[in-house]
Structure 1
Amino acid sequence: MVSRISHWIGGATLAGTSGRVAPVFNPATGLQSAEVDLASAAEVADAVASAKEAAREWRSASLSRRTGVLFAFRELLHANADELAKIITAEHGKVLSDAHGEIARALENVEYACGVPELMKGGYSEQAGTGVDVYSIRQPLGVVAGITPFNFPAMVPLWMAANAIACGNAFVLKPSEKDPSAAMWLAQTWQRAGLPDGVFSVVHGDKEAVDAILTHPDIAAVSFVGSTPIARYIYETGTAHGKRVQALGGAKNHMVVLPDADIDLAADAAVSAAYGAAGERCMSISVAVAVGDAGDRLVDAIAARLPKLRIGDGADPDTDMGPLITREHRDRVASYITAGAESGATVVVDGREADVPADGFFLGTTLLDHVTREMTVYTDEIFGPVLSVVRGATYDDALELINSNQFANGTAIFTRDGGAARRFQFDVEVGMVGINVPIPVPVAYYSFGGWKGSLFGDTHMYGPEGVNFYTRGKVVTSRWPDPATSTVDLGFPRTR
């Protein structure tokens, strides 16, 4: 039976009134499991009005009260991780272990936000002038919004909402309409944790809802994660309407393998980083740059591992890789394999020919060798289980390849040479760097974000930069009457 997924406004589920809905599928079966309401601009306005009212109370809540809610939310998220993981797998398709990994990273961000009494501290200068004290404080913005992608339906919203709420803001979430149930689960859990109604809202929708968020005068800031073209649109439209915007775009993450690298370690890393979650991760490795004589050894080692991966329903604990999110996306990814082969790449392992379940949106793992920078499999963000191997004669060739790419989200180098690793971290023009670590996602007390076409705006996500993004600084300069000249009886001698 197809269920209905509605909005969460003012602490309650509200059915949509726009008359528009979108289907939600189980990618492992290909069957529709639900339909989700798509919000009109008026429905977004209702959510913002509720959030604006709630923000007035929440910004006045003590830091200890906010911390109590965050700790309670953290405990509920931890205790009910199995339930949330099943929801994620049912609508996204990723295997349960990946879903649990997503929740674990979300928990890190909630735990960081639990330290809000420390994070919100300002500074104080006594006697900056004669009888004058100066101090700084950070205050919430009011109503802020997040527009999040399908690939991490729990983690990315909590990259944003945990800090935003901890800092005293009300948060309006517009999740992907492809897997919306996780957002509703988060909303209900925030309520169970004691968060006042209206502080966390969920409006489902498509471009109409996005545009309503970007243009609404009462939304002070917008956070976004998604593709580069949409990130640019979000940034330009939001800032044109006077908002703070952090917009994280696409990626084409390279993994450099030097000749001295541990090839088994590098091959294991490449397989997990390229094919985990069916490659639908902004930090997936999509290009392996094999330097010198590492090429044949690396390709052979990766190819030997791929037949061992079991592809199927992510709810099966024995599955290593699940389906892609939609039939259309699967077909798009498959078309890149065809294009790569036609343009001269060597198809070492062909995912189009894999033995995968007939139902659902499945595609096997693909390994392409001798890929060049002119091929679309190299230039475009594919977002699927396709790994391209580019050969480079030297370290400098690999570095130049990465630094000339339009994307600069994450990168990695595999080597035993500490000098080469240190040089790489210094020279590479990418926002997040791994040394013998294929997916260098920062821990919660740092911040996440790329460079160049992978980030619009100047603020990275979560961590210290997240706190700064969801607050604004205020400096107070104060002068009080000198006690020696005051006419008020202070109860002690007026001496200097």
Structure 2
Amino acid sequence: MQEIHHLIDGRPVAGASGRTSAVYNPATGQQTGEVPLASADEVDAAVASARAAFEDWGATSIARRTALMFAFRNLVVDNADEIATRLTAEHGKVHSDARGEVARAVENIEFACGLAEHLKGSHNEAASTGVDVYSVRRPLGVVAGITPFNFPAMVPLWMVPNAVVCGNTFVLKPSERDPSAPLFIAELFGEAGFPPGVLNVVHGDKVAVDRLLAHPDVKAAGFVGSTPIARYVYATGTAHGKRVQALGGAKNHMVVLPDADIELAADSAVSAAYGSAGERCMAISVVAAVGDVADPLVEAIKVRMEKLVIGDGTDPASDMGPLITAEHRDRVAGYVGGAADQGATVVVDGRRARFDGGGFFLGVSLLDHVTPAMDAYRDEIFGPVLCVVRCDTYGEAVGLIADNPWGNGAAIFTRDGGAARQFQEDADAGMVGINVPIPVPVGYHSFGGWKDSLFGDTTMYGPEGIRFYTRPKVITSRWPDPATSAVDLGFPTNE
């Protein structure tokens, strides 16, 4: 049984609260570890370490910060397989998905390595006679990150590199369900040469979250998770005077027009809906099939679903692994039965799949003739269930996206350039794909949705991440006329 520890001031620290949470291998259902749940005092110790480290780190040169970030990037790349192995062991995603998660995380580290460019200020000489004005960006101090179970390596690296390279110090509270990968990444951070206290890790539940959000020395907090918790984190953190960026849930739509390439659309729908067992905030949850494309599209998706191999993520033959817990698996399965009761057609019923062993497996499901009134459409299922809503027109499909409370991502599949360009304008979502089902931005853009998918005024990572983790300072300076200067500058005089 693995005993997981906090990481405070560069050292492993055993939990002292007396409260713990079990960590499981979702593919076997067996407990593999125990993670401590921090008390408020333990959170305070991590924040105190970060605050002490900030005194020197905030004044460290750009050259030094950049060099350390490059070293960290290289360590993550060198240890990518180990990180992926830990992800599969505790989250359950197949190894190829886990390696993909690490690759996307590295993009964000590489963006942070460009600090010298990102932190350039601006300068106006002679804004008035003898007056210069220039602006710079300064770090905030201690900042915190509260990250989810579904991407335990990537999401912390949406936050930590930008925050730290800007001169802040960081306290990370990863998900207690799969804590080993983020903890290992934090250990690599120390191995890269970052001073103790620049990155601290405390495991925990609501007690730890509430203390981070209330602590007077924490100046900002980032969060990714469900919309109800995102709303709570945003309200609580801002009530305590902090800046907060809180990313919530999603119900991502993929509009398929009658002229679309059916093979491409079906391949994309299957990979986007069932990859990582649907436990992705950018997963496609709804296919809005327009006109007579519905029947051939549903059939093409069904054929592909029947070929999916569901099994242990360590098996190279597996296309999809288990869900994170037995409770979540049962909740997701309940939506399939509920949709049938409410009038949907269950084309493929994942509840009928049978698996050996005690893992948290569930087969993939496809629901047709879903309507916006059904629970399977209204709720964020966060599992391997794809809903098909049949629409008569493009306008009806776009209206579904506009009427949905979430606005994370939306995609369209079409061969018509005019329709694609119109969709870019019409889609009421923060990230839009054109013949791309999961339009997650590359590391040098920023990630974030609209409506109930984002609380706060900045999106995450990329240029917006730099803005979130710094505050502007504008300096206005006046100097005397050189002719009247007390120092002889060699200017000619009238004498």
Q: Which residue of 1 aligns with 2:343?
A: 344
CA RMSD of aligned residues (A): 1.0
Q: Which residue of 2 aligns with 1:460?
A: 459
Q: Which residue of 2 aligns with 1:42?
A: 41
Q: Does 1:416 align with 2:411?
A: no
Q: What is the distance in 1 between the residues matched to 2:121 and 2:485? A: 30
Q: What is the distance in 2 between the residues matched to 1:181 and 1:415? A: 42
Residues paired across the two proteins, number: 494
Q: Which residue of 2 aligns with 1:200?
A: 199
Equivalent pair of 1:330/1:362 in contact (CA under 8 Å): yes
Q: What is the distance in 2 between the residues matched to 1:416 and 1:194? A: 51
- Match for 1:412: what amino acid? A
Listed as ranges, the matches of 1:155-174 within 5 Å are: 155-174=154-173
Q: What is the distance in 2 between the residues matched to 1:238 and 1:305? A: 45
- Match for 2:262: what amino acid? I
- Match for 2:475: what amino acid? V
Q: What is the distance in 1 between the residues matched to 2:107 and 2:492? A: 53
- Partner of 2:42: helix, strand, or coil? helix
- Match for 2:289: what amino acid? A
Q: What is the distance in 2 between the residues matched to 1:420 and 1:293? A: 17
Equivalent pair of 1:368/1:389 in contact (CA under 8 Å): yes
- Match for 1:200: what amino acid? L
Q: What is the distance in 1 between the residues matched to 2:420 and 2:321? A: 34
- Partner of 1:336: helix, strand, or coil? helix
Q: What is the distance in 2 between the residues matched to 1:445 and 1:403? A: 27
Q: Which residue of 2 aligns with 1:64?
A: 63
Listed as ranges, the matches of 1:79-228 within 5 Å are: 79-228=78-227
- Partner of 1:293: helix, strand, or coil? helix
Q: What is the distance in 1 between the residues matched to 2:325 and 2:480? A: 69
Deviation at 1:6, TM superposition (A): 1.1
Q: Does 1:487 align with 2:486?
A: yes
Q: Which residue of 2 aligns with 1:323?
A: 322
Equivalent pair of 1:312/1:357 in contact (CA under 8 Å): no
Q: Which residue of 1 aligns with 2:301?
A: 302
- Partner of 1:155: helix, strand, or coil? coil
- Partner of 1:23: helix, strand, or coil? strand
Q: What is the distance in 2 between the residues matched to 1:356 and 1:382? A: 22
Q: Does 1:396 align with 2:395?
A: yes
Deviation at 1:271, TM superposition (A): 0.4
Q: What is the distance in 1 between the residues matched to 2:356 and 2:152? A: 25
Q: Which residue of 2 aligns with 1:234?
A: 233
Deviation track 1:122-149 (CA, whole Å, cap 9, x = no partner) reads: 0001111111111000000000000000
Q: Does 1:54 align with 2:53?
A: yes
- Match for 1:202: what amino acid? V
Equivalent pair of 1:483/1:494 in contact (CA under 8 Å): no
Q: Which moved more, 1:320-329 or 1:352-361?
A: 352-361
TM-score by length of 1: 0.98
Q: What is the distance in 2 between the residues matched to 1:465 and 1:174? A: 22
Equivalent pair of 1:290/1:390 in contact (CA under 8 Å): yes
Q: Which residue of 1 aligns with 2:275?
A: 276
Q: What is the distance in 2 between the residues matched to 1:143 and 1:357? A: 47
Deviation at 1:56, TM superposition (A): 1.3
Q: Does 1:263 align with 2:262?
A: yes
Deviation at 1:495, TM superposition (A): 5.7
Q: Which residue of 2 aligns with 1:436?
A: 435
Listed as ranges, the matches of 1:239-250 within 5 Å are: 239-250=238-249
Q: Which residue of 2 aligns with 1:13?
A: 12
Q: What is the distance in 1 between the residues matched to 2:381 and 2:266? A: 21
Q: Which moved more, 1:25-34 or 1:475-484?
A: 475-484
Deviation at 1:350, TM superposition (A): 0.6
Q: What is the distance in 1 between the residues matched to 2:379 and 2:470? A: 36
Deviation track 1:190-227 (CA, whole Å, cap 9, x = no partner) reads: 00111111000100000000000110000000000000
Deviation at 1:489, TM superposition (A): 4.2
Q: What is the distance in 2 between the residues matched to 1:363 and 1:278? A: 9
- Match for 1:410: what amino acid? G
Equivalent pair of 1:88/1:94 in contact (CA under 8 Å): yes
Q: Which runs of 5+ in 1 are unaligned?
A: none
Q: What is the distance in 2 between the residues matched to 1:495 and 1:463? A: 54
Same amino acid, percent of matched pairs = 68
Equivalent pair of 1:356/1:364 in contact (CA under 8 Å): no
Q: Which residue of 1 aligns with 2:477?
A: 478
Q: What is the distance in 2 between the residues matched to 1:380 and 1:174? A: 27
Deviation at 1:311, TM superposition (A): 0.5
Deviation at 1:356, TM superposition (A): 2.6
Q: What is the distance in 1 between the residues matched to 2:285 and 2:225? A: 17
Q: Does 1:366 align with 2:365?
A: yes
Q: What is the distance in 1 between the residues matched to 2:493 and 2:281? A: 66
Q: Does 1:292 align with 2:269?
A: no
Q: What is the distance in 1 between the residues matched to 2:156 and 2:298? A: 37
TM-score by length of 2: 0.99
Q: What is the distance in 2 between the residues matched to 1:412 and 1:235? A: 28
- Match for 1:411: what amino acid? A
